[in-house]
Structure 1
Amino acid sequence: MSVMSPPGQSAKLIKAAAAANAPWVLPNDYGSDPTETKMGEDAMIGPGKQADRDLIEKLGKSSWVGICCSFWYEYSLSTGPFTYGFDFENRSVTFIDDGTTKINTTTWPQTALAVARLLSLKVLPDDANDTSATLSQFRNQPAYVSSFLLSQKDMLESVLRVTGTKECDWKIEHEAHEVRFDAGVAQFNGGDRRGAVKLLYTRVFYPDGCGNYEARHGLHNNILRLPKEDLDEFTRIAVNRAERKVLVF
């Protein structure tokens, strides 16, 4: 569902699923770690997502399963300086703090495959001795998936390899996370929705570790039989998107 959807749309769908006795619901809850409540509140996305999960459980007809995949890599690298900090047209990058904070990030194909593999799991074990993966083990909780654990510096190194450029060819700036976050808030309050994107991305790069859910929860990549991906392959896709100015957000 689009982030620009009117308020209340997801609740209507959840109620419709309950009325139809749908046993499982995958809510509009892809993205950041739902257990990071402070981050969710600061970024303004957490309360709405929690309300959807609470509604599913309150209605009592369905269970929910979520996909925690963080930001989409190709999209976030290519869209503009307000996401992962890269401006390919001007060959510049803004590092949040020193650019070494690592976060999980996932490609579009990996996210899609994770959803397909998760919903393809059998619901329950065959018997008491069956230890294979089931959908029920994810009942009312997220599956944690990721393509890469990267810092902005890691991303730049991949960009340099893909573009054949050197670090000296790029203008590198630094911005403290609090300053960048506050700038995003001010921008959003001034009517520029890119400010909401900036504050959201910046909050996940805070040095409190909120963006590295792999360190706290581990990953379900193996359970879902997700492949290991090549970073430079998807960096190349992002660079191509940026060059073609495919900058939808």
Structure 2
Amino acid sequence: MTPWAKMTLMAYAREPHGMVGVFATGGQQILVDAAIAAGVKRFFPSEFGPPSRNEKFAALHPALPPKVATVDYLRSKESQISWSALIPGAFFDWAMKIGLFGFDIDSKTATLIDGGTATFTASTLPAIAKATLAMLEHADETKNQYVYISSFHISQKDILDAVEKVGGQKWTVKHITSEELIAQGNKRLAEGDNMGATDLVGGAALGKQALGDSRPWGLWDEKLGLEKEDLEQSVRDVLVYKANHTEASE
């Protein structure tokens, strides 16, 4: 264990209830070891995304295999520490603000993948926070489990309908196939542009393969007391945020 890892966990030594891994991909095994040494009872690996055990998705999503490796490592240490892995799907509000669902709010342009009809799972940041707390409140049930949650099961077309209704304006709509988007992502990665990974993820999750749908894995929403959210209200919150920040930057 490195001195840095030891220092990181000193805050948990007195009340070692749980620790959340915040690294996006690898690098968590050393934190698992340090958590065990500090007596942490529950480790929350940095899943916080789509189903990492989906092999088809993992083949296109470079962040997923390291996440799987972390949970496999935790499984090998279950006699010393428990774990819970939260799978909320896409971060809805965050992704909308930066255009990861194909929606450019500034130009009011939507790029639909394979027609925009594939359903995917998404959760808002407040819902993810509530779910994390609920997992601690349901510690026995969530022990050594993947926990799948959702605010919505939606398509790009659902979002388009919502932004046009809430904003009161029609958007420009463009189209791309998932094959084109994935090829574009691979090209960007080959050229050293790591953001090409977002194209791979978009093609896999939002395209006709619908690999971003968590429902086949079984949802915990009801068990954790999580309520479905209102898509139009969430879209309204995003549009207000963007408008306020645009005004502040001018």
> TM range, normalised to the smaller chain?
0.7 to 0.9
User: Is the Cα–Cα contact under 8 Å of residues 110 and 173 in structure 2 kept in the other structure?
Assistant: yes
Residue 179 of structure 2 aligns to a residue whose secondary structure is helix
Pairing 1:93–2:110 present? yes
Give 1:45 deviation, angstroms. 1.7
1:1-249 correspondence runs (5 A): 1-3=22-24, 7-8=26-27, 10-60=28-78, 61-80=80-99, 83-121=100-138, 135-166=139-170, 170-214=171-215, 216-243=216-243, 244=245
Which has the larger displacement, 189-198 or 178-187?
A: 189-198
- SS of the equivalent of 2:184 reads helix
One-letter identity of the residue aligned with 2:164: L
- The answer to whether the 8 Å contact 1:143/1:220 transfers is yes
List alignment gaps of at least 5 residues for structure 2. Answer: 1-21
Per-residue CA deviation, residues 100-135 of structure 1 (Å, 9 max, x unaligned), is 0010100000010000011122xxxxxxxxxxxxx3
Pairwise CA distance, 1:237: 1.9
* Deviation (angstroms), 1:2: 4.9
Distance 1:74 1:213 in 2: 18
Alignment check: 8 A CA contact 2:53 2:68 kept: no
The unaligned stretches of length 5 or more in structure 1 are: 122-134
Post-superposition Cα deviations, 1:111-164, rounded to whole Å, max 9, x if no partner, equal 10000011122xxxxxxxxxxxxx333332211110011100000011011111
Q: Is the 8 A contact 1:69 1:105 kept in 2?
A: yes
1:37–1:46 CA contact under 8 A, matched in 2: no
Counterpart of 1:87, as a letter, is D
Per mean C-alpha deviation after superposition, the further-off stretch among 89-98 and 183-192 is 183-192
Using the aligned pairs only, state the percent identity: 28
Higher relative contact order (CA 8 A, sep 6+): 1
CA distance in 1, matches of 2:62, 2:119: 22
Q: How far is 1:19 from its partner?
A: 1.8
Give the Cα–Cα distance (whole angstroms) in 2 for the partners of residues 192 and 179 of structure 1. Answer: 17
Q: Could you tell me whether the CA contact under 8 Å between 1:96 and 1:175 is conserved in 2?
A: yes
TM-score, reference length from structure 2: 0.83
Structure 1 segments of 4+ aligned residues over 4 angstroms from their partners: none
- Aligned equivalent of 2:6: none
My pick for the range that moved more, 202-211 or 226-235, is 202-211
How far apart, CA to CA, are the structure 1 residues paired with 2:90 and 2:169?
25
Q: 2:146 aligns to what SS in structure 1?
A: strand
Per-residue Cα deviation, 1:49-73 (whole angstroms, up to 9, x for no partner): 0111111122341121111101111
Superposition CA RMSD, Å: 1.9
SS state at 1:207 partner: coil
With normalisation by structure 1, the TM-score equals 0.83
